[in-house]
Amino acid sequence: MEHFKSLSAYMAYLELPAPEHPMFSLFSSKGDGFLPCPKESSPPISNDCYSISFKKKLEGDLSYGRTKYDFSNGALFFIAPRQVIQWDSAVIFEQQGFSINFHEDFLKGSELAYQIKRYGFFSYSVNEALHLSPKEEKQLLSIVDNIEMEYQNNHDAFSKEIIISQLSTLLKYANRYYERQFINRQELSNNLLEAFNQQLTKYFESGQLKGTGIPGIEEIAEKLSVSQRYLSDTLKKETGKTSTEHLQLFLIDEAKNSLLDPQKTVSEVAYELGFEYPAYFSRLFKKKEGISPKAYRERYKLN
């Protein structure tokens, strides 16, 4: 798989105009303008750049990770350094919107270099892209206009700082709009929680816990056709608990049933639930329930 270390090499591969700045590139369409067309297709590639794009796809499938997404209504999506992308010749974009690409080193020395790593949407799959309302789209386009104005001007000692400041504002708005999207998709969130629990139940009933251990969140997310980060963020917004916490609660609930069997030791219960070390199981149980597995068993006997 080909990897591009510089923004210029990445732009050249895409057959797009060379960037005005060696580590920052911006394309936008205004009025009746159009975005430049990248190369028609590409096998899996990666690079050291961040990408923020707003586009509408007329037809075809765009693959990002293991998923595909329909951009017919337009969406804002984000790609972080070293993520894998690919597309084929069947993809046709309406060449309006904007595309911002910048090398990760462009942010070095700025507060955004640390903040950007906390934005979960850079880890979302493309089928979890941000859908904008007309009002939201207008707000973000005004920020992009400010960035473009600075990008096209003669660069001076303040240019980079101003662009990074505007990028930070854009990402803060995107974070706000994702919060709105989580709320507006409450039914989808509920279905996701139900599907998550169904996957855990299926895994438990198959006996895989004892044989192969506790399933990873990434493994469960893949079965649900969402990214690990999106799954956790969605459940957090809906229930106040992350996917890891839900997994732990499921295991504790199953542990309670098993602990009531006097023929099983605490260690046997731990191994059955996929814990490699019984001591870790005991610590987790006590953290969640306030008492040790042994004490829980004794309390049940008394009741």
**Residues β-bridged to residue 52:** 78, 100
* pLDDT bracket for residue 132 (50, 70, 90): confident
Residue 136, pLDDT above cutoff 70 = yes
The answer on 193 and 175 residing in a single domain is no
pLDDT tens per residue, range 88-118: 765 555 567 899 999 999 999 999 999 998 8
Contacts of 74 (CB under 8 A, 6+ apart): 54, 55, 56, 97, 131, 132, 137
The answer on 22 and 149 residing in a single domain is yes
Please tell me the pTM assigned to this model. Answer: 0.69
Residue at which a domain ends, from 146, 169, 184 = 184
The answer on 176 and 251 residing in a single domain is no
The answer on 201 and 146 residing in a single domain is no
Give the count of domains, the chain.
2
Amino acid at position 274, single letter: G
- CATH code of the domain containing 25: 2.60.120
Question: Residue 59 in 3-state DSSP?
Answer: strand
The answer on 22 and 113 residing in a single domain is yes
- CATH code of the domain containing 296: 1.10.10.60
Residue 125, pLDDT above cutoff 80 = no
Mean pLDDT of 154-183: 89
The answer on 264 and 192 residing in a single domain is yes
Residue at which a domain ends, from 155, 184, 213 = 184
Structural domain harbouring 88: 2-184
Residue 99's nearest CA partner among 47, 45, 38 is: 38
The answer on 195 and 178 residing in a single domain is no
Q: For residues 222 and 127, give the distance between their C-alpha atoms in angstroms, rounded to a whole number.
A: 12
Residue at which a domain ends, from 117, 151, 184 = 184
**Which 8-state DSSP code applies to residue 182?**
H
Residue 71, pLDDT above cutoff 50 = no
